[in-house]
Amino acid sequence: MAEFLPYGRQSVVAADVEAVAEVLRGDWLTTGPAVTRFEADLAGWTGGVPAVAVTSGTAALHVAYAAAGVGPGDEVVCSPMTFVATAATAAMHGATVVFADVSPETANVLPDAVKAAVTARTKVVAAVDFAGHPADLGTLGELAHEAGALLLEDAAHSIGGSWQGRPVGSWADLTTFSFFPTKNLTTAEGGAVCAADPELLGRAQEFRNHGLVRDRSRQRFPDEGGWHQEVHAFGLNYRLPDVLCALGSSQLSRLSSFVARRAELHARYRAGLSDLEGVALPVTLPGAEPAWHLFALRVLGGRRRELYEFLRERGIGVQVNYIPVYWHPVFADLGYRRGMCPGAERFYAEELSLPLWPDLSDADVDRVIGEVRAFFGHA
Ligand SMILES: *Cc1c(COP(=O)(O)O)cnc(C)c1O
């Protein structure tokens, strides 16, 4: 039987292994020079906007909402077409999450829906670059700022992409990344928060490290002694260790080739499926240079589950991204009802992510294309 193809997978080479081994042989395992270097390397991808490395994409979101000062009584306007963490981390700060519907084409949050959802209590508008296609970042930023809120871009899918000629990470007030193995680069577990504003950045750095203040000029008891550090606001330990930051820098040195190969494979799927009537293919809007994390096929005619099972039986590890966030029982129990974002629900009903990762061969993609065509009765 043919090899099982997962929907996503890391690409790790000998240089990555060596970078990690070198740190393990050295003095620093946790917070040392590899963290500083990885953060500087990340800024090379965000148009110079500084980054704070953290332990996951989920931690990055939790940190970003903390930096924005999100708390009880605040509202966070969020895309429902995302992994649950985008909304869950806001809820865990005590905020009320308000879902704004997405475009049926890109699955990215619609500016008009955001406009209708913001109120005087909105603290953050959280957009997601679904599948690696940037959201309408300029318009969303304006809408957020008019409402007195910040724009947070969950760029877990889209590092290496750009919108209207400017890189992901340079648009929003706060941008978050994930370095989970299926994402565009990996540190095993890991993530980062980017912010141009020094106050947002400083709060992100502090929340990552228990809220500890070491700068004597800011301490309430600066004469306590050389050992002294103070907590002014609660934080957590979300520090990404040197060992994993070394892997991150090594991976980042190949991000261009990862993005290019993902684009090639994405185009190969498009060409191989473009004449099928039973599917709709992903759309690229003018101004977008996606960093394709997913190939999000839409299966028409109510046949998504059937095709999912057909491909799984044939060793093709398709995935569904995502169940609308408010369908999760934790949100349903808070009173969120099905039907509130019909665009997201329809997209979910049709979506099927085909395998996409840099080390997939052309022959692997042709095999997937062949099986999808066979399902629809095409040679
Ligand atoms: C992966 C992902 C996250 C969470 O990242 P982890 O590193 O797995 O914690 C958040 N948002 C989106 C859109 C993601 O795809």
Both 310 and 235 in one domain: the answer is: no
Q: What is the pLDDT of residue 45?
A: 98
Burial tier of 320 (Cβ tally within 10 Å: 0-12, 13-18, 19+) = middle
Q: How long a stretch of residues is the chain?
A: 379
Both 281 and 327 in one domain: the answer is: yes
pLDDT (tens digit per residue) in 315-360: 999 999 999 999 999 999 999 999 999 999 999 999 999 999 999 9
Both 311 and 368 in one domain: the answer is: yes
225: how many CB neighbours lie within 10 A of its CB?
7
**For a substitution probing ligand 1, which of 56, 178, 325 has the most ligand atoms within 8 Å of its CB?**
178
Both 186 and 241 in one domain: the answer is: yes
Q: Give the pLDDT mean for 292-320.
A: 98
3-state secondary structure string across 292-348: CCCEEEEECCCCHHHHHHHHHHCCECCECCCCCHHHCHHHHCCCCCCCCCHHHHHHH
Q: What is the mean pLDDT of the chain?
A: 97
Name the closest-CA residue to atom 7, ligand 1. Answer: 57
Both 49 and 88 in one domain: the answer is: yes
Q: Tokens 């999000």 — which residue?
A: 296
How far, in Å, from the CA of 130 to the mean position of ligand 1? 11
Q: Of the candidates 208, 234, 252, which is a domain's last residue?
A: 252
**Is residue 48 classed as helix, strand or coil in its secondary structure?**
coil
Beta bridge partners of 240: none
**For a substitution probing ligand 1, which of 76, 128, 180, 292 has the most ligand atoms within 8 Å of its CB?**
180
How far, in Å, from the CA of 86 to the mean position of ligand 1? 8
Q: What is the pLDDT of residue 1?
A: 57
| pLDDT of residue 137 exceeding 90 | yes
Ligand 1: which atom is nearest the Cα of residue 61? 10
Q: Give the pLDDT mean for 98-125.
A: 98
How far, in Å, from the CA of 73 to the mean position of ligand 1? 25
Q: Of the candidates 203, 224, 252, which is a domain's last residue?
A: 252
Beta bridge partners of 68: none
How far, in Å, from the CA of 220 to the mean position of ligand 1? 37
CA 334 and chain centroid, separation: 25
Ligand 1: residues whose CB is within 6 Å? 56-58, 82-83, 85-86, 128, 154, 156-157, 178, 180, 191
Q: Of the candidates 231, 252, 273, which is a domain's last residue?
A: 252
Which CATH number does the domain housing residue 289 bear? 3.90.1150.10
Q: Count up the domains in the chain and report the number.
A: 2
Left if phi > 0, otherwise alpha if psi is -120 to 50, otherwise beta: which for 148?
Answer: left
Q: Give the pLDDT mean for 105-111.
A: 97
Domain encompassing residue 335: 255-375
Both 267 and 368 in one domain: the answer is: yes
Q: What is the pLDDT of residue 50?
A: 98
Ligand 1: which atom is nearest the Cα of residue 182? 1
Tell me how far apart the alpha carbons of residues 129 and 140 are, in angstroms, rounded to a whole number: 12
Both 231 and 301 in one domain: the answer is: no
Two tokens, residue 157: 């899918």
pLDDT (tens digit per residue) in 221-269: 999 999 999 999 999 999 999 999 999 999 999 999 999 999 999 999 9
Which residues are identified as catalytic?
183
